[in-house]
Structure 1
Amino acid sequence: MFSDNIRAALFMLVAMAGFVVNDTFVKLTSEDLSPPQIMAVRGVAASLLLFVLAWRMGALRPVGLALRPRLMLRTGADFMATLSYLTGLSQMPIANASAIFQALPLTVTLGAAVFLREPVGWRRWAAIGVGFVGVIIIVRPGTEGFTVYSLAVLAAVVFSAIRDLATRRMDRAIPSLFIALMAAIAVSLLGWTLIPFTGGWRPVSAENALWLSCAAVSIIVGYIFIVQSMRIGDMGFVAPFRYSVLLYALVIGIVVFGDWPPTPVLLGSAIVVGSGLYTLYRERVRGVAAPLKSQVH
């Protein structure tokens, strides 16, 4: 009934909802648990679910494959991105964190131009510059709204860009589910390693255990649907729908946490989204590589 592009757009909307729901449950548990403990517990649940999925879909591979340099770089960048993002998210409104994170497509474009020598014309360089102006408006350095947690989310953007650029250079024969499984295991192990240095283990209530289980399911739903979206749709058409995450985050921030983003956050978000959409438009016009397939945080 629906075209591949329409189906892919719907899948992208579901994926973004999954990611924001994950962020919501994580933020709820962050009132009682440290980011490393959240990473550890959620990672166990996510790893088990991903293992079952990979096994059922024939995507399991020898563990030694995880020691390939590019996969190790990707995995390392992924768990640093997760730690940075959860640290920021635990101490700032969900809409603010999501808004800053939308600088990722622009950062990946910049990284691809600098490190992978991909062609970027002056118009897209200008769009990248304008987009980062939007990020500065959101972060507001030197004002009351600026905190170290804003820098943590910015660090997550940088690490996520490294992860995605490493993914672009990986062997396409390695299944995406296997890559995600290795990342989930690494993130969980890092969390368990850091717990003793961040206040130790804190009791996990039944409520928090339920929320972290829901977070694990939500993030896997996001991952599965974003992969499906990227496989069946034209990325030039589908990619703009990833900005729906801002709308989801805004609504959940107001309804669940009672956080209404200040005007600078809304203005900066509009600038970031506008510049990102223009970058996608220029890539489609020029017929160059589609935007990188960003994965879960």
Structure 2
Amino acid sequence: MVSQDVAPPPIADLTYRNYDGPKALRPLRWWTLSRSFIRTAMRKKAFWVLFGLLCMQWMLFALFVFINSQADQITGGAQRQLRAFNLANTFVDVTDIWIWVFAIALFIGAGSIAADNRANAIQVYLSKPLTRADYILGKWAGMVILLYFAQFVPMLVAVLYAALDQGFGEFLSSYPRLALVFPLVPLIPAVMHASMLIGISALNRTPAIAGIAYTGIFIVWNLLATAIANAPIVADDSRSTLLFLNPRGVIYGLIFNLVGTRGTPPGFRSELPLPEWAPLLGLALVLCAGSLALAVLRVRAVEVVKG
């Protein structure tokens, strides 16, 4: 009679004790996180609605160019212009419409880390072959890339239309600086918004609270800087710089210096003076570095409970 007892199979060693392969981490680990961040944002309908509103902003720029090119027909052939048209001034005037870029940044960035804090997902991310620097860089780079191209695509189409309308040769000779630097213009708000939102989002567990906090900082600081700049005791030559010493002012003050003009807003007959670029750049570096440092301090693989 054959025994029915069967010996148990040997337990396989599934650990990494006998692994002798390469131990180096994969390069560009942060890019996996950035790509996921971009894809998640682009799957949301609200993102495309805000992007469409941003495109309308640059359609307005193209409309100004079209009206200027058709000025003779619109004024009945009169040999005069209602207002001297300067393409660089119009470019910065349209760029200064900040609300849609801010809205896109708020939509994609408020929950960048706050949502992970709420779901305790950071522990899962950092249990994988990702370092804390990879996690923060991945979120930051994904936001910068998305914000940059959301601005750059409609801006490029509008500037190309202006160049075609005027003629590429005349456009390059009349506005060489604008032609050279306009691809860098979207980078300034992209980096500033991404850096500050990463820091504020890391401090919160609720995306809505992070969004409200960033909105308050962005708007209230701007109003406070405006009030200080317009105070009677402030010297006239300092007003233009003090007015821009806030997050919104830093972004657009640096853009104005990059393009070389502050534009001619409605109600002004001449160009406004440019703010000093050095204090603006210094404040920008402090805000970006400080916000990213906050994120580094707050992002941890385990939650530390203080009692």
TM-score higher than 0.5: no
Higher-helix-fraction structure? 1
TM-score by length of 1: 0.32
Say which structure, 1 or 2, has more relative contact order (CA 8 Å, 6+ apart). 1
TM-score with structure 2 length normalisation?
0.31
